[in-house]
Structure 1
Amino acid sequence: MSSRMSFQVALNFEDGITRFVECRPDETVAEASYKARINIPLDCRDGACGTCKSLCESGRYDGGDYIDEALTDDEAARGYCLPCQMTPRSDLVLRINSSSAAAKTGPATFAATLAGIRRHSPSTVEFTLDADDRENLEFLPGQYVNIAVPGTGHTRSYSMSSGPGRRLLSFLVRIVPGGAISGYLTERARIGDRLELTGPMGCFYLRELTRPALLLAGGTGLAPLLSMLEQLARRPAGQPVRLLYGVTSDQDLVHLDTLEAFADTVGGFTFDHCVADPASTARNTGFVTGLLDRPALYDGDADVYLCGPPPMVEAVRAHIGSLGVTPAGFHYEKFTPAVPHDTAEAA
């Protein structure tokens, strides 16, 4: 048994809310959750009913004792587990088959200070927040928070572009005329402003890499993938990772220097980019689909992470289908820039 005092267990509920609990190697995940006042649905506590059946997406554990009616051998081989019986052998990520409300929990709210604003180009701005209770704002790389935009009464959703290990939280924003967060950041924001954010949320996050990974970004959809790469730089996966990054015009290209740095520090990581504008000076013009072929997908033996605006996401999904390839894992997130008083801006 590990000598470590406890492991971190991320519980991701079906409504996208994620809560983190500390679990000792000698206690079950259900016990640790109940101690944290998170009521994972269960009935028997004995591995007999299967009510708490969940999917372990990352980490190692001892599955404990249970009967076949609660969890079959085939389900166990595919990563399903019973929190009432399992004990951790590493940090874990579990997908819980219930809503956070059913577990009598919900997202946490944090106060934060605006610590920095960087205008990358006329189309893109980056900002950083220093959360007051940062040690308790844990998230999985790729997830997002809801940010209350000062002076507007509106809330917008943004993925962290920084990794979980950083003190400051960073976000990439596409400038949208009339957008709530765009107007705030370009016209009124001052370093030291106080903001409120809620989360973490979302089912788009980095799983344990057991096969090659292909990351696909459209515009500021690069943000959550940067968070994933930062995590991989800290915890090498030992698998090839390739990023394809597409934008509309040259001014939309950001963080190429960051990607170059990741290519030097993340083993097996490579990337390429393209610009849709035919007048671009980039090596590749056109869309991301022009760089996407069967070898990039390892003929299906790859995990795909895709984030971008809806047309780009749908085009990539259709293109992969046209190649006759079904990726081993396919995780995607669409974001829609908001118009005033309408849908949420998101990275």
Structure 2
Amino acid sequence: MSSYRIALNFEDGVTRVIDCGPKEKVLDAAFRQRINLPMDCSDGVCGTCKCRAESGRYDLGDDYIDDALSSDEAQSGLVLTCQMVPQSDCVVAVPVASTACKTGTARFGGKVAQVTGFAGAAFELVLEVAADAPGFLPGQYVNIGVPGSDQHRAYSFSSASGAARMSFLIKNVPGGLMSSWLATARPGDALDLTGPLGSFYLRPVTRPVLMLAGGTGLAPFLSMLEEMLLQGIDQPVHMIYGVTRDQDLVLVERLEDYARRLPGFSFTTCVADAATAHPRQGYVTQHMPAEVLHDGAVDVYLCGPPPMVEAVQKHFQAQGMCPASFYYEKFVTSQPAPVAVAA
């Protein structure tokens, strides 16, 4: 392999993905790509460059002193980026803001390749992007500027990182600023993007996974499932996909395709509307069998509106269930743009 992808997660939620050569130190690779990670000595003496490796394989060598990084710290996943030589793709948590490292959110452009509407419930936006568009972690989001305005909207990636096309699943809000634009968007239309951002992303899969998707909160899970396919994950992964109305249940055929191609993946769907014709009426908490909780030995990922997040938290508390890890992202739908009223 010519290089590895290193995702640097800063404490302000900004992520920058850099390329690091197979014999290159992370600190050097970051500096080469104009990201000044914290450092004083660069010789494994001061400990200023200490970060946490959240995933991946690497070698720290033995050219640093114990005062800079103790054996206990190294065992717990702490690293010195001035000594860290990756042996795989890695995720590194940097304990400072991105601005302190003279970097920040990347700005880049995309052109509309396709917009697909789903019965007035949602849009799937597909963008063509340049080869040097920033990478992201599956589950993260980007801010997209709304053409003709000075506003932006945040949407989770539904595609795999590094692909030539980026996709997003966007709720159709009647009268909404972005929804109104998407209804008239044409291939080739240009968009400005800023990101990636967010601490909601797929961690190393070492135990069963439970995914809870609410409405267009399905988007980040599609990106995660793509990553699981690439990694060859074979742990049990179950998704419960809940929506408000029948027409909100979109891209189910894509989940069926993942169920065929990804060993261990299964999913169920439910609709909250009391008048639904769907075989499973109700909320995700009402369709969560004990077997998908694995007696707490499960990583739970949840993306949905605040009431859904709170309901799941209360459900776990009532059941006395404490998952091994619980990651969630709350999203709030933007309100429709105000209508001008003549004086």
For this structure pair, what is the TM-score category when the shorter chain's length is used for normalisation?
Answer: over 0.9
Where do 1:182-331 residues align within 5 Å? Answer: 182-186=179-183, 188-331=184-327
2:135 and 2:162 in contact (8 A); partners too = no
Distance in 2 (alpha carbons) for counterparts of 1:301 and 1:290: 20
Unmatched runs of 5 consecutive residues or more in structure 2: 339-343
Q: What code does the residue aligned with 1:5 have? A: S
Q: Which of 98, 101, 106 is equivalent to 2:99?
A: 101
Q: Which of 45, 57, 60 is equivalent to 2:57?
A: 60
Q: 1:150-187: per-residue Cα shift (whole Å, max 9, x none)? A: 1122111111111124321111111113321111112x
1:39 Cα deviation (Å)?
0.9
The equivalent residue for 1:146 is: 143
Unmatched runs of 5 consecutive residues or more in structure 1: 343-347
> What is the alpha-carbon root mean square deviation over aligned residues?
1.8
Percentage of pairs with the same residue: 52
SS at match of 1:282: coil
Relative to structure 1, is the Cα distance of residues 258 and 105 closer, same or farther in structure 2, using a 3 angstrom cutoff? same
Number of residue pairs the alignment of both structures matches: 337
Distance in 1 (alpha carbons) for counterparts of 2:257 and 2:245: 23
1:341 Cα deviation (Å)?
6.0
1:282 Cα deviation (Å)?
1.8
Q: 1:15-67: per-residue Cα shift (whole Å, max 9, x none)? A: 11111222123221111111111111123323344332222222111133344
The equivalent residue for 2:114 is: 116
Moved more, 81-90 or 39-48: 39-48
SS at match of 1:195: strand
Distance in 1 (alpha carbons) for counterparts of 2:218 and 2:289: 20
Q: What code does the residue aligned with 1:119 have? A: G
1:293 Cα deviation (Å)?
4.7
Q: Which of 4, 13, 26 is equivalent to 1:7?
A: 4
2:17 and 2:134 in contact (8 A); partners too = no
Q: Does 1:170 align with 2:178?
A: no
Q: 1:273-329: per-residue Cα shift (whole Å, max 9, x none)? A: 111112222221111011235432222222111101111111112212222222222
Q: Which of 5, 22, 29 is equivalent to 1:32?
A: 29
1:72 Cα deviation (Å)?
4.0
2:214 and 2:241 in contact (8 A); partners too = yes
Q: What code does the residue aligned with 1:128 have? A: V
1:137 Cα deviation (Å)?
2.6
The equivalent residue for 1:84 is: 82
1:217 and 1:306 in contact (8 A); partners too = yes
Q: What code does the residue aligned with 2:151 have? A: H
